[in-house]
Amino acid sequence: MTKMTQSAALASIGAASRELHLPTVRSEAERLAEVAERSRASHLAYLADVLASEVDDRAERRRIRRIHEAHFPRTKRLADFDISASPVDAATIASLASGAYLDKGEPVVLLGDSGTGKSHLLIGMGMAACEQGQAVRYATCAGLVNELVEAADERRLSRLVSRYGRLDLLLLDELGYVQLDTRGAELFFQILTEREEKSSVAVASNLPFSEWGQVITDPRLVAAIVDRMTFRAHIIETGTESFRLRTTRKGRA
């Protein structure tokens, strides 16, 4: 090919890839052509490499988008969880990372004192699920209830509940820090009912089940919520000793 012919070919590839929405083909075609020429690859091998590059890049963009849409407050991974300083063992971490609970729509409940790694595990579970192609959403319990109340006031509650129902995994953090009034608890219960035995909900709480009545004061509602969150659930206790406090003490020592 002459230089002019090559320029024309690249221009044609650029125009076609824009029309077909293949940005990676457009950006990588020339570089991969040079690689193919040096390795004396066939035309089919070159085409396979170009298309594989587009597929890989598209998968990475989807992964990044899923993580962005999950609204994680920070990045945490299960692989970085310090099992040496926690009662949570490696088998439990591996089970959460595998996402097997998602296939069965099983709940996960993380119970432990503040600073024992509940949020780390919750976010880590969500990150793992995102990387496996699952739709995930993280929220604090208070934040979720506020969003539901606002939606109810604006007469769009059913749409919001339906949207939360379509998620593969809903992560709810900080159950126990803010008391829910009766209306908020009823809306919270509605979300759990929408997802019951269909899609997983993971909740992190600093309170044992016997004390959830301190947050959800309606005895009927708290019993129903505990019932839904414990049926076929994976209940993981993270202990009582704060990672942050222990780290601070080590620093002072």
pLDDT in tens, 161-170: 999 999 999 9
**pLDDT surpassing 60 at residue 253:** no
Task: Please write the tens of the pLDDT for every residue from 89-113.
Answer: 999 999 999 999 999 999 999 999 9
Which tokens belong to 40?
Answer: 């004396």
Give mean pLDDT, residues 17-39.
92
More confident residue, 206 or 1: 206
**246 pLDDT above the threshold of 80:** no
Nearest alpha-carbon partner for 187 in 229, 234, 233, 143: 143
Confidence label for 9 from pLDDT (cuts 50, 70 and 90):
confident
> What whole-number percentage of the chain has pLDDT above 90?
85
Q: How do residues 200-228 score in pLDDT, each as one tens digit?
A: 999 999 999 999 999 999 999 999 999 99
Alpha-carbon distance 119 to 206, whole Å?
11
Report the pLDDT value the prediction gives residue 5, as an integer from 0 to 100. 78
Integer Cα distance of 9 and 29 in angstroms: 10
In order of 107, 158, 186, 197, 248, the CA distances from 149 in angstroms are 24, 12, 10, 24, 39
- The pLDDT value recorded for residue 242 is 79
**Which class for 167: exposed (0-12), middle (13-18), buried (19 or more C-beta within 10 A)?**
buried
What pTM was computed for the model?
Answer: 0.85
Give the pLDDT confidence score for residue 235 in this predicted structure: 97
Average pLDDT of the segment spanning 175-202: 94
DSSP type of residue 203? E
| pLDDT at site 250 | 63
